[in-house]
Amino acid sequence: MNIAVLLSSFRQLLDKQQFDEARRMVDEEHSLTERERISFYFELANAQPCSVFSIGFYEQQSEREGDNPLWSEKLAETYASNNEIFKAVEVLETFNQRHPDNHNILFNIAWYAEGCGDYGKAIRFYKRCLEKNIEQPEEVHLKLAVVYTDHYLDKLTALKHYRKALSLSPGYKAGLFDYGGYLQKTGDYPAAKDTFESLLSTQEYKKRALARLVEFPGDHQSADIARLAYQVSSHFVSPGAFKDNDDVDLVYAVARWFDSRHHYDTASRLIVQANNADLAQSHLNIQSIKECHRKRLTGIQAWHKTYCRIPQNPVSELDDVSPVFICGPFRSGSTLLEKQLSAHPLLCSGGEIDHFFKFAPLICGGFPPAAEITSESIDRIRRTYLERLDALRTTGNATVLDKRPDNIEKIGFIKALFPRARFICTRRNHKDIATSLLFNRFGPAMSYSLTTETALDYLDRQQILLSYWQTHYEEDILTVSYEDLVANQADTVDTVLRWLGLDPAARNSGSDDNGIITTASMEQVRQPLHNRSVGRWKHYSELFGN
């Protein structure tokens, strides 16, 4: 067959996603040279990037042409698409052993290592990129700065890399934007304000910078923020007004601005518009969101009831490790509680450590099949987690508080890894949580946050899951009410400390407001303690129907 005709027919099959037929067509065409056949297979593999065929093809080509980085990069990309990011790292490290000076491979090892939560390896390979004089080193310094900011809460090292990136490229807009975020997270609002305002003249970052500036506490806001807020309010009156993702971010921010000034009708209209824009982009509806999260939460219980006992080494020094987790619904007071607890000298803040979600993707209940659990894989999960804690520990004997709220879904998995783990579960009025969720943009994994109906449904199901965990691990789970925390902070925090076996008298009465706070609560927790958020839903009662 003429190769042009063959290629046309082949691509028609790809367009129809008839991949088996496309492969059969190539297999049966004996006139093709080996190079032509590989070109067809390459196109077929790209058309179905998560398939067994793609992995097999790229593995075969990696063996045949071991010095060609393309095949290792494509194989790694395919593994990553299948949520097997550790395999992606292994593939690239194997190539790197033969070709240690390939800049793209070095950078991608670091990037994938960061993606699977191995931040120590990510740092090592980002630094190796710099040692090898990679082009555009400012991008590598920015990567390092973000890792140190978000995952190690290391202000000084992060600042060093931000400054280096911007000294190498003073007009580096992505670097300036992230640096402004760093300054905001550390509470340096004057410097953050100057940084974001420097981006207002740029087309790419103008709306993103405005969204950040709107969020600043009143005494740090630009003079014309009120005018901007009213302009946004009058412009975004229909779904068709949203042109891009930055528009949605800006409307979320402006809605929060009106809420903070008690203009609840305007805030309500804007926040519904913003969430509806996200809902439209998700191609989901209320019923499909409910069903998705119902399957996930019930799948967690099903997995826990049927999984094989995680294999343990005959004698493991990790068996007596007792990490402490603060978890529960998002927006239920976990950041506030962590801040108060970390004032004790034997506790320190770890922030939202994403470790267990890197190992257990949000599919099928979020756990690996029991058949895939091996002593080696479990040992790697445990040890890499403890390495993260060691890096975050501020003093030699302090316990690091892991404050990732949705670890509430991983309690059974974590208890299998660390039998002595303990969990402090925050709770709050569900309507107040639903209201707070509406005003924050969380992304596709938390699609339930887009409407009050889906949020309340999810929160009810999560409460059922917590009750299930309590029947199995009651002695290792303590619940803390947000309402109690804001009404009687000292007694509530002291109760938690005693439950942890610590002396409440050792807790410092003050707390450090200059640490890095990376959560959606970063502005609230720097304010004096108040109870304005208790009963907040009543300002938006019309969003809850009957």
For the purposes of burial, counting CB atoms within 10 Å of the CB of 238, is it exposed (0-12), middle (13-18) or buried (19 or more)? exposed
What six digits make up the tokens of 513? 């407001």
Set out the domains of the chain in order of their start, with CATH numbers: 290-305+326-544 (3.40.50.300)
With tokens 């075969």, the residue in question is 60
Report how far residue 344's alpha carbon sits from residue 490's, in angstroms, rounded to the nearest whole number. Answer: 13
Tell me how far CA of residue 442 lies from CA of 104, 244, 439, in angstroms. 31, 17, 10
Count of C-beta atoms within a 10 Å radius of residue 477: 19
Report the C-alpha gap between 526 and 512 in whole angstroms.
9
Contact call for residues 87 and 107 (beta carbons, < 8 A): no
Q: How far apart are CA 150 and CA 157, in angstroms?
A: 12
**CA distances for 167 relative to 15, 160, 162, 174, 209, angstroms:** 47, 11, 9, 13, 21
Closest alpha carbon to 185 in 478, 516, 529: 516
Cα angle: 228, vertex 522, 541; to 5 degrees: 65
**Backbone φ and ψ of 325, nearest 5°:** -120, 140
* C-alpha closest to that of 105 among 62, 146, 64: 62
**Residue of 248, 237, 236 lying closest to 279 (CA atoms):** 248
SS3 of residue 507 by DSSP: coil
Q: What pLDDT is attached to residue 345?
A: 93
Residue 43: predicted pLDDT? 94
User: Is 168:499 a contact under the CB 8 Å cutoff?
Assistant: no
Point out which residues pair with 401 in neighbouring strands: 324, 349
- Measured CA to CA, the distance from residue 427 to residue 12 in angstroms comes to 54
pLDDT, block means (10 residues), the chain with 546 residues: 87 93 92 92 90 92 94 94 87 96 97 90 97 97 95 92 98 97 92 94 93 81 80 83 90 94 95 94 92 88 70 59 95 93 93 80 47 69 88 87 94 90 98 97 92 97 96 97 94 97 85 55 52 88 89
Alpha-carbon Rg for the chain, nearest whole angstrom, is 25
SS3 state of residue 298: helix
In the chain the first and final C-alpha atoms are separated, in Å, by 68
Cβ-proximal residues to 224 (8 Å cutoff; 6+ apart), any chain: none
- By the 8 A CB rule, do 274 and 252 touch? yes
User: For position 239, what pLDDT does the model report?
Assistant: 72
Phi, psi of 201 (to 5 degrees): -85, 0
pTM equals: 0.82
CA separation for the pair 1, 6 (Å, rounded): 6
| φ, ψ at 531 (rounded to 5°) | -115, 25
- Answer yes or no: are the C-beta atoms of 156 and 150 closer than 8 Å: no
Burial call 506-528: b when 16+ CB within 10 Å, e when fewer = ebeeeeeeebbbbbbbbbbbbee
What span, in angstroms and rounded, lies between the C-alpha atoms of 257 and 238? 19
Asked if 6 contacts 14 with a C-beta cutoff of 8 angstroms, the reply is: no
- List the structure tokens of 12: 């028609």
